[in-house]
Amino acid sequence: MLDDGAREREVALPRGRWIEAWSGRELEGGGETVVEAALHTIPVWIRAGSIVVTYPVERVTEGVADDADVSKPLVATLWGEPALGRTGVRLADGTGISWRKGRWRLGGDRAIEVLER
């Protein structure tokens, strides 16, 4: 927020279906929308059908070093239903994570928890 006392602002979302990460509210993009922005949260919108890979919350609170330790567990979250029934990501270490018609496929030896929102 750039204006003193502002609690919302108008933003443009690209075309497609978007999910607000904190509330789960869905919105069709391709235009402008008013986004609430409380002081304690950052507005985060994720394109529906995307897989977002993060570290588990408890790992982040311990501190995450900037190394490529592949023994660290991960969490892969599918946000909404992919339009074509499938989606996937490949991590920098080559680990592949994909979802197709309700089934997850996890490549590599990493510990990966999967979630669907």
C-alpha span between 47 and 109 (Å, rounded): 28
Q: 69 is written with which tokens?
A: 């330790």
pTM of the model: 0.81
Q: What is the mean pLDDT of residues 72-79?
A: 93
Give the CA distances from residue 92 to residues 68, 69, 96, 103, in Å, rounded to whole numbers and listed in that order: 9, 11, 9, 23
**53-73 pLDDT, tens digit each:** 998 887 776 666 555 566 778
Cα–Cα distance, 72 to 74 (Å, whole number): 7
Same domain, 40 and 64: no
Q: How many domains does the chain have?
A: 2
- Report the alpha-carbon distance of residue 97 to residue 77 in Å, rounded: 10
| 29 domain residue, yes or no | yes
Where are the alpha helices (H) located in the chain, listed in sequence order?
A: 57-62
Please write the tens of the pLDDT for every residue from 8-43. 888 889 999 999 998 899 999 999 988 877 777 778
Same domain, 12 and 36: yes
Whether 40 is covered by a domain: the verdict is yes
| 1 domain residue, yes or no | no
Report pLDDT for 29. 94
Which residues constitute the domain of residue 57?
50-116
